[in-house]
Structure 1
Amino acid sequence: MTMAGFRVRDLDALRMVPHPAVTLLLEFGAGSPVVDCGAGRQQRGSIVAGPGIGTGGGVRARGENVECVQVRLSPVIARAVLAASPADLDGAVVSLEDLWGRDASRIRDRLGDVSSWRDRFTLTDALLARRHEAGPPPVDAEVAWAWRRITGSRGRVRIDELAAEVGWSRKRLWSRFRSQLGLPPKHAAKLVRFDHAVHCLAAGRGAARVAADAGYADQSHLHRDVMAFTGTTPATVADEPFLAVDPLAWPSRGKP
């Protein structure tokens, strides 16, 4: 789990770049962020989004006087924390109130009562830890292991090999992985590889080098993948502010 804090006076159509995690935005400020989900759909206030949200470049956040804590949860633990499977999100942006009811308002009030980001992170960590302990059973050990292999290899692993390593058929791995983590294993590997590549681009590395290091066939392959996930080019996505909260892209900066 990672956390970052945002305080933005004027948030103007910030593109949400897909990420291989379940994302929570816990707002507590005077304003209220709005997430435009495409096709005229919107969500206001605190939200939850499944892995890969924003694929295609169609999800943007906006608002005035926005203050929030962003939490990125591994899909492996998200089910216990949310009391809902990432698969139930079905790639959509969901209001936190729809999942947690009045607890969402209580969290908002408690975050607003503390004055420092350090205290907000500590409070958020404790709240989510309690939910995790009280939540439903974890995912299958084989699914968790496959996820760790995918993330550990930065997406450079064959699904046939994963299935063989856990002693399952490819079909069984696909079914269990998809139902418990919210996306098929092959797509998860592509998303993890993309995430690593795009943060390397944001860190200022050249596209040709990034393509080679991330395991793409060539620079054109990287270009197609970035376009598919973000709707824009590698050169453009490298300057996306949404990537600036990650230490991989900005190792010299702390949490904002």
Structure 2
Amino acid sequence: MGTFTHGATEWDVACPRRPSRVAGLTMAGFRVRDLDPLRMVPHPAVTLLLEFGAGSTVLDCAAGRQERGSIVAGPGLGTGGAVRARGVNVECVQVRLSPVIARAVLGASPADLDGAAVPLGDLWGREASRLREQLGDVPSWQDRFALTEALLARRCAAGPPVDPEVAWAWHRIAVSRGLARVDGLAAEVGWSRKRLWSRFRSQLGLPPKSAVKLVRFDHAAHRLVAGEAAARVAADTGYADQSHLHRDVMAFTGATPVALAAEPFLAVDDLAWPGHGTPGRPHVPAGQRPVRGPESAQPPH
């Protein structure tokens, strides 16, 4: 377990000892005695916040809405800087799910979340409360990770996969770090633009153009946190210029690039998800690479 310090607050951070056997699933454990209001920075994944113990987490959302306890959030939660997390004696396992496996794991499409946070119990019923009890009963973080992975693996195996063409389009966006040409995705998988846009949105929770912007922003944001100059980051990550990067960061977070670079939500990633701070870890399930039309070869890498 490591310790992340931000101001006067210390976070205990735990990581699994091995990568998950479920492709597209990553986890970290957090224990924070007094969590000051924390800006939720949009991320290109579906997030599960699995709470346990006697503490309490509060998510302050737009329009004065609040969510407490274990929640699930669609890709891009916090866009506009409107969501803050706070709490006392917080203990939780945070799971990041590739949008490609999220529908199977959740039992509902990420599109139903519409980028917002909802109580996990709304989707899983009593299974959500049982999981909280089980996480509190096991003696170590590694046991909690194993318990969580086993549950999510079962749900993933039983749930419906996304279309291979949709998985491949997400793969292209992810490996390019948001630099993929959106108009070329449909041609790559042999679908019409209208069909791909509709299936992508309904199965992953956001349209391809929004996915490209979110993945590109996430990569740029982590480079800003790493201390790189905004002008260099803009030039390397596909923005027209530094002003374009500034506008995108403001739109996603309500903060300037300078302020974003100090956000603990991002700064803790190197400790909690070593090597996974940016979305360059695509997930294409086995056997789900699409073909170009009914009889043709697979699209190129």
TM-score range, shorter chain: over 0.9
**Deviation of 1:243 (Å):** 1.0
1:102 aligns to what? 126
Q: In the alignment, which residue of structure 1 is the partner of 2:67? A: 43
Alignment partners' CA distance in 2, 1:173 and 1:167? 9
Shift of 1:4: 1.2
Q: Structure 1's 181 and 251: CA in aligned 2 closer, same or farther, altered over 3 A?
A: closer
CA distance change for structure 1 residues 26 and 139 in 2, over 3 Å: closer, same or farther?
Answer: same
Cα distance between partner residues in 2 of 1:226 and 1:76: 25
Q: Tell me if structure 1 keeps the 8 A contact 2:166–2:200.
A: yes
Residues 91 and 203 from structure 1, CA distance in 2 versus in 1: closer, same or farther, beyond 3 angstroms?
Answer: same
| Alignment partner of 1:89 is 2:135 | no
- Are the counterparts in 1 of residues 28 and 273 from structure 2 also a CA contact under 8 Å? no
Query: 2:100 matched to which residue of 1?
Result: 76
1:113 Cα deviation after fit: 1.2
- Structure 2 length-normalised TM: 0.81
Report 1:140-219 matches (<5 A): 140-219=163-242
* Secondary structure class of the residue paired with 2:95: strand
Deviation at 1:250, TM superposition (A): 8.0
Asked if the contact 1:19/1:51 (under 8 Å) is kept, the reply is yes
1:226 paired residue number? 249
Task: Look up the match of 2:29.
Answer: 5
Match of 1:33 in 2: 57
Q: Give the gaps of 5 or more residues in structure 2.
A: 1-24, 277-301
1:227 is displaced (CA, Å) by 0.4
Q: Post-superposition shift, 1:230?
A: 0.2
Shift of 1:116: 2.0
Distance of 2:155 and 2:193 partners within structure 1: 33
CA deviation after TM superposition for structure 1 residue 244, in Å = 2.8
In the aligned structure 1, how far is the partner of 2:211 from the partner of 2:193? Answer: 15
Cα distance in 2 for partners of 1:80, 1:216 equals 34
Q: Which has the higher helix share?
A: 1
Q: Name the SS of the counterpart of 1:78 in structure 2.
A: helix
Structure 1 residue 11, shift from structure 2 partner: 1.0
Q: RMSD over aligned Cα, in angstroms?
A: 1.6
Moved more, 164-173 or 51-60: 164-173
Check whether the contact 1:30–1:65 (CA below 8 A) recurs between aligned residues. Answer: yes
Q: Quote how far apart the aligned CAs of 1:101 are.
A: 0.7
Q: Is residue 4–residue 245 contact of structure 1 (8 Å, CA) maintained in 2? A: no
Q: Which amino acid aligns with 2:128?
A: A
Which structure 1 segments of 5+ residues have no match? Answer: none
- Is the 1:208–1:218 Cα contact (8 Å) retained in structure 2? yes
**CA–CA separation in structure 1 for the residues paired with 2:209 and 2:153:** 30
Change (3 A) 1:233 1:145: same
Contact in 1 for aligned 2:28/2:272 (Cα 8 Å): no
Deviation of residue 149 (structure 1)? 0.3
- Give the AA of the match of 2:223: C
In the other structure, the counterpart of 2:152 is: 128
What CA deviation, in whole Å up to 9, does each residue of 1:76-132 have, x standing for no partner?
100100000001111211000111011111111111112322221121111110111
Deviations 1:150-185 (A, max 9, x none): 000001011111111111122211111111111000
Greater mean alpha carbon deviation, residues 202-211 or residues 186-195? 202-211
Shift of 1:145: 0.2
Aligned residues, how many?
252
